[in-house]
Structure 1
Amino acid sequence: MRINIAVADSHPAVLVGVERVLSKFEQFNITGTARNVGELEALLAAKHCDVLVTDYLAAAHSRRDKLAFLGNIQRLYPALQIVLFTIGNQPAVERAALNIGIRSIVRKTDEEEMLVEAVRAASHQIPARVLAPPDSEHSHTVNPAIASDRAVPHAVSPFSSLTPREFEVLRLYASGLTVTQIAQHLNQARQTVSAQKLSAMRKCGVARDVDLFRLVYENPLSLRLDDSHSTGLMPAGQN
């Protein structure tokens, strides 16, 4: 199922960048972009959107008024999941944003993978992420999952028990490919890939796709290829 995404930001370069990043994934469909409140209201009224990626966007100057605008959008479109994509670093304002229903907050200084995972998590209605407070006024606020991963580099990954093929299948599935597409990519039968996916999910202790995406979202570094897993495609049929 494709995820329909609206992108709103007052800076045209940001709009182009976000659209370029998200368009890499076949499951993401950019329904439109908006540079101001009027354009965003028109876009949401005209097209169905599952996720809105936006900075604080309102004619008013204060962050509080801008949050009120986003809160109104949330009331008008209760099924719309909002990802706040911002350069700011104001924990009190961000907590208020989460309280009005913003699904997640991503910094514009974060890696692009953070935005991709936030959008995917929002589409599955995974609970809102509360960002870790900064260590100092100059520090970079990070997702708590990444913070814990950095703090405990030798922690056991929830994916450590997977075979290389199961790991690859799960990684590709989490990146947005369907089972059929993975089968074509790995030159395997669809039934084989499906069985590998189910086996991997059992080993990870999840039974539903939404729980799988939540696991990946909470362990965003764990599904990157590293020295403990294959760094390329293996011959078809290898498990």
Structure 2
Amino acid sequence: MSTRERLRILIADDHYLVREGTRRLLDDTGRITVLGTVGTAEELLTAVDYEHPDAVIADIRMPPGHHLEGITAAHTIRTKYPGIGVVVLSQHASEHYAFALFQHGTDGLAYLLKERVGDLDELVRALHEVAAGGSVIDPRIVEVLMHSHTRTVTSPLAQLTPREVDVLRLMAQGRNNRTIADTLALAESTIEKHVNSTFAKLGLTELAGLHHRVTAVLAYLRHDAPPVDSRGSAP
């Protein structure tokens, strides 16, 4: 793969060893060119203006406040440069962070746990997905989102069969019907039936675009989630 074909990215994390270690790992894949690393959200925005990368990796909590600086920077970047994707990393699988990140839509955004840095294929896939305008959500975060809503008896999620829950979980991870079928070892036509049944029970309209399906699922899960304050926590 030539340098021109590599995805061009920036990395923002206030821990020097983390950002430089991530740089080394991604550079060694031969699929990513790291244009630079920074330690604050302000430095990230300046670097984006100068470098115009294809995508960005940003920690959620960065100086000066260690609150939601990464998420705020992600929204700023997506507004100013819609062609630049942002992968936000967190140490915690928090539904509040997820809803804060995706409150204006999911296009070009990903929320992954920091442990995914060790899974280079998954991290590179997420970077390419957001650079193309798609979205990715870490499977463990999806688990948290699903659990917090399925435990509510009055939630329509409680009406789903175990298999429909499996399908919804994989949809929220940004997987298409064929990939879901392969994962669950079922026919693609069977998955299509589960998808239609799931959307019907949740009162959602099936949408063709993959990231639009993720948006629909998150919109539903967000409906009765607690609001997020400026410190990134529920009141």
TM bracket, shorter-chain basis: 0.5 to 0.7
Which structure has the highest helix share of the two?
2
**1:117 and 2:156 are equivalent in the alignment:** no
Question: 2: distance between equivalents of 1:157 and 1:18?
Answer: 38
**1:46 and 2:50 are equivalent in the alignment:** yes
Of 60, 65, 90 in structure 1, the residue corresponding to residue 65 of structure 2 is 60
Shift of 1:118: 0.8
Report the TM-score, using the length of structure 1 for normalisation: 0.53
* Alpha-carbon contact 1:60-1:66 (below 8 Å) kept: no
* Alpha-carbon contact 1:94-1:105 (below 8 Å) kept: yes
Question: 2: distance between equivalents of 1:46 and 1:75?
Answer: 16
Of 58, 64, 79 in structure 2, the residue corresponding to residue 75 of structure 1 is 79
Structure 2 CA distance for partners of 1:153 and 1:80, relative to 1, 3 Å: closer
* Alpha-carbon contact 1:91-1:133 (below 8 Å) kept: no
- Between structure 1 and structure 2, the one with the greater Rg is 1
Structure 2, unaligned stretches of length 5 or more? 149-168, 189-208, 212-235
Q: One-letter code of the match for 1:44?
A: V
Of 171, 185, 193 in structure 2, the residue corresponding to residue 155 of structure 1 is 185
Question: 2: distance between equivalents of 1:136 and 1:128?
Answer: 19
Structure 1, unaligned stretches of length 5 or more? 138-143, 159-210, 215-239
Shift of 1:156: 5.4
* Alpha-carbon contact 2:8-2:34 (below 8 Å) kept: yes
**1:24 and 2:34 are equivalent in the alignment:** no
Structure 2 CA distance for partners of 1:55 and 1:74, relative to 1, 3 Å: same
**1:126 and 2:130 are equivalent in the alignment:** no
* Alpha-carbon contact 2:112-2:137 (below 8 Å) kept: no
- Deviations for 1:43-97, whole angstroms, at most 9, x for unmatched residues? 112212010011123523433x653343223222222100011112211221220
Of 95, 101, 114 in structure 1, the residue corresponding to residue 99 of structure 2 is 95
Q: One-letter code of the match for 1:115?
A: L
* Alpha-carbon contact 1:7-1:15 (below 8 Å) kept: yes
CA RMSD of aligned residues (A): 3.6
* Alpha-carbon contact 2:71-2:88 (below 8 Å) kept: no
Structure 2 CA distance for partners of 1:22 and 1:2, relative to 1, 3 Å: same
Report the TM-score, using the length of structure 2 for normalisation: 0.53
